Amino acid sequence: MAHVLEFKLPDLGEGLTEAEIVRWLVQVGDVVAIDQPVVEVETAKAMVEVPCPYGGVVTARFGEEGTELPVGAPLLTVAVGAPASGVTADEGSGNVLVGYGTGAPPARRRRVRPGEPIRSAVPAAPAVRLTTVDTTAVPVAAPECPDGPVPVISPLVRRLARENDLDLRKVHGSGPEGLILRADVEHALRAASAPVQAPRAVTAQPLAAPAAQPAPAGAPSATRIPLRGVRGAVADKLSRSRREIPDATCWVDADATELMRTRAALNTSGGPKISVLALLARICTAALARFPELNSTVDMEAREVVRLDQVHLGFAAQTERGLVVPVVRDAHTRNAESLGAEFARLTEAARTGTLTPGQLTGGTFTLNNYGVFGVDGSTPIINHPEAAMLGVGRIVPKPWVHEGELAVRQVVQLSLTFDHRVCDGGAAGGFLRFVADCVEQPAVLLRTL
C-alpha cells in the first residue's frame, strides 16, 4: 500500500525563519522524482528552488502563490510507493539541504523527520505522516494548550507579540496544525484595539451612526504594497543602519581622465575587458590596506571595534526584484581582472534571481556605483553592520584646471559615508583622498603592489 509523506519547508540557512511562495513548479497529481524542484520561494535574501526529497505522486499543496510560510510548515504531501510513481516509502534523496536530509541508511531513514533540525514548539503529529493515498489535507483547529507550549515557530512572531504585550495562548492559529502566523498576531492586535476606538466614534456623533465614513474631499487614493521579500529585507537593514550607526559623509571631485585612459590601454592588450568598477574596487582594497579601521564592525555589547582581516567587497546591483548587494569574497587577494570577472558572474546571477543567501551576506565594505543612474552625487546609507561605503557618481566631461590651464576633463564625484564610531574625519578623509589620488594618477596604485 502506498503511503503519503509530508514534506515541510526546510531551514534554508543564514538565520532565515520564513519564505514566500513565488511559484509552484508542480500540480496536485503530478509525478515527481527524488530531488526534483517543486516550488520556488523567496526569502529575505534570495530566490530559492526547493527540491523534494521524496519521489511519488503529489497529493496536496499547502499555500497559494504569494503566501508566506514559516520554516517547518508543510509544503506538500507525496504518495510514495504508488504504482504511478514507481517508488517505495524507503526511497529518498541522497542529497542534503539545510534542514532536512534523506541520505541515511534505510533502517535509520524511517526515523528521520524532514524538519527535525527545527525545534518546533508545535505539539503536533510527527513530521512524516503515514496515511492512505486518498487522504486529503484537512485544516486543524488551534489546539487548546493553556499549560503547554504555544504553537508558534517564528521568533519574529514571538517578538511582535512580546513587544505588544499579547498573550499568544489566546491567539487562534490559522496555519497548519494550528500554527500561529504573523497575520494571526496582527489580527489579534487590531481586534484588541477595536473596543477602544468604537465608543469614541459613538460619542462624537450620538444622533447618527453611519455605516461608513466617507473619505475627506480631495483625499488621494492609495495602493498598499507589502514590505516583504527583498524589499522588506532592504527596508529592515537600512532602517537599522540609520537607527544604530552615527554616520557621516565626506566627498571630493576627482579628475578621472587618466583612469579612463589606463582602462582603454588595458583593454587593447587582448585580454579580458576590465570595467571601471573593477579598477575602483582594486583601488578600494589598496585604500583599505592603508586605513583598516574602515574595514571593521562595531560590537556595542562588548564595546569594541572589530577590525577584519579579510576584505569581502559588496557592490550594489539593481535588479527587477530590487536592490541587492552581492559580495566578492577575499577581494583583497584579487587583481582588477579577477575582480571584474567576479562582478560579471555575480551581476548575472543577481539579474536571473539565482544568487544564494551566502553570496548576499558577509560583506565588510561596500562599493556603490550610482553613476549608472545618471547622477553625480549621493550620501549612501551604510550597509549594516559594515563601517563604510564608497559611492561613485557618473564620469562626465567638465571644465577643470589641469596643469594651470582650463581644460575639459573627465570628472567624477566620490563620496564616503563612514561610521564615526570606528574613526574620525582624519582617517576617513585620508582614505577618500588616497582613492581620489589613484583615480587621478593610477600610477600611485603601483606603489601599493
Q: What is the CA radius of gyration of the chain?
A: 28
AA letter at 352: T
Please, which residues bridge with residue 211 across strands? none
420 is a catalytic site residue: yes
Cβ partners under 8 Å of residue 388, min gap 6 = 294, 295, 365, 366, 382, 416, 417, 418, 419, 422, 428, 431
**Total Cβ atoms within 10 A of residue 200:** 8
Neighbour-count burial of 309, counting CB atoms closer than 10 A to its CB (0-12 exposed, 13-18 middle, 19+ buried): exposed
| Chain length of the chain | 449
Asked if 255 is an active-site residue, the reply is no
Angle between helices 276-290 and 336-352 (to 10 degrees): 120
Of 249, 292, 247, 254, which is closest to residue 414 (Cα–Cα)?
A: 254
- Which one is catalytic: 90, 236, 299, 420? 420
Question: End-to-end CA distance of the chain, in Å?
Answer: 70
Q: Which of 236, 299, 330, 424 is catalytic?
A: 424
Catalytic residues: 420, 424
